[in-house]
Structure 1
Amino acid sequence: MDKNVNSFDALYAEAGSHRSVIAWDELLAFVRRFPHIAAFNAALLAQQNAGAIFVETERAWQDKHDRLLNDDAEVLVVLHPFAPVRFVYDVADTHGPPVPDAAMNPFTAAGAPTWDGHRLVMDVLRRKGLSIAGLPTTQSPTVMLARVLFELALIYAGHRGARPDLGVAASDADLDGRQARFEAECITWLIAGRIGLKMAATGSLKGYLKHGELMPPVSRDRVLHSVNAIEKLFGGALRLGETVREDVPSLFPLSGQLSAP
């Protein structure tokens, strides 16, 4: 695991000394609410402004929402490909027409995953050289997707061993099995929430979130980077959320199917 002193793991290791950090359960909930930006960037936002609701760049606020920055708007910093950082601003630091709920909560009115969506997901994974074995027998696409996400979590966290073709290093050989499972549960629950799935936390994560049980050891960096990598396979969380709900029209009308010999 990355020993970068500026990592989230280092940040939390120093908590209680001279730094104040957001609790892990609160960070998970925050990241789930920001599917339009990468999970790692959402975590960066949480450390800067835990009350943020919806962020955009200054130009995006103007061009997409016809809103302007307040004079005292607080600048927030996120990472950006091919540039060191990008500056964004929370909706509370802007003024103008109301922001549509569909923009801030894109999956509020979305339906459940479909079997067509599941097939599209599996097609993407096959093209990426990813094979998911041991999938359950179920009539629920949501249950199937949950298992696929959990297996991807184990792979991208390195708990299934090194995958150089995916840029994944193996996790430490002496890593406790409970930690590996907890990290996979966190990754699965984060992605599920970011794509609007009604999927309950399970295992140790459920015990931690619902019953106040002690949290197992966890690499926060590994969790966040794994979420980023899995969502990137599908073009980001928003695109993944659309993909799992795809309903491919039949090539034949229903009446024709019913009358076929």
Structure 2
Amino acid sequence: MTQTDIFGQGMFDVTPEGGQLQFMLEEQVDSGPSSALSDARQSIDDLILTSRRYRESKTYQEFLDFVSDMRDLAPFNAAMVDIQMPGARHVLSAHEWLEQHRHVPKPNAQPLVILHPFSPLRVVFDVSDVEPLEGARPLPADLVSPLRVRMEPAIATERLAHLRSNAMAYGIRVQEQVFGSNLAGRARRSTIGGTTQRPGARNKGPEEVRLRYEVTLNGGLDSPTMYLTLLHEIAHIMCGHLGTVCKDWWPDRRGASKEVVEIEAELVAYLVAKRQDALIEMPPYLDGYVKAERNMPPISLDRVLKAANVIDELTQRGRVATRVIKKKPS
């Protein structure tokens, strides 16, 4: 068990048991077992314990990083926000958005429920779910999504459609989900197995394809940002950062450092996009290395170029044939 004090707001008891995350925040008020606040806290504990997002050990550190970064919220409330909207960046109540920034929640905004002193619950909204009133000033740069990119929308929309369809040739299913403004997408090995369908070849019906990887994109992104995000996430897969299902496709490189895997994925996305639209700008992660004249970590340029070549093919018009894992003779 690891006990962690975060910014003096309370103690976490972090105990990975059974592949799940358990934690308890020190009570800040005296509440009996039957109080609304006690019931709310227990409900959140139960939600975290049963959440699939916390069953992978990698998620523990991501969770603690998120809670640490949300300095305006108590740790327990930060946890509640993370459960309801992964990737949330900055949350305020509707009244606070109006008073501080002359912004209001969008019609389809997702309310986020957190605890509040002297009352059981409080409703807040992420920056990705608010819009300006007439005369409102632009939001401060540190509140606005850092994920947006410059690319011709028409190019991005067309390439995005081709990539989503053709990625299924490798058993990569692409879906959308509502995330906060600070999370563009993520990729993982499929844990459910089975098959998924992709459009069939000309004059043929749908084709069953074995499901191997899942990519989830933030459905609230514009098409250029969503396209670059999908390039980045598929790059993680084809650079071997999530392991491999077939060594003839790409090697298993799960031992690479976080710095290496992020730079490789950014390089692949940048190379593919730059070949398709000269307006594309270098991602901030890479731009920081260039401007600071920092030495690049030991990336695999061979793997970056091979992944970029395959992904570029997937973004082209036309259907890519389904890849089959060939059984080696015994």
Q: TM-score range by the shorter chain?
A: 0.3 to 0.5
More strand by share: 2
The structure in which a higher percent of residues are helix is 1
Q: TM-score, normalised by structure 1?
A: 0.43
Instruction: Calculate the TM-score normalised by the size of structure 2.
Output: 0.35
Larger radius of gyration: 2
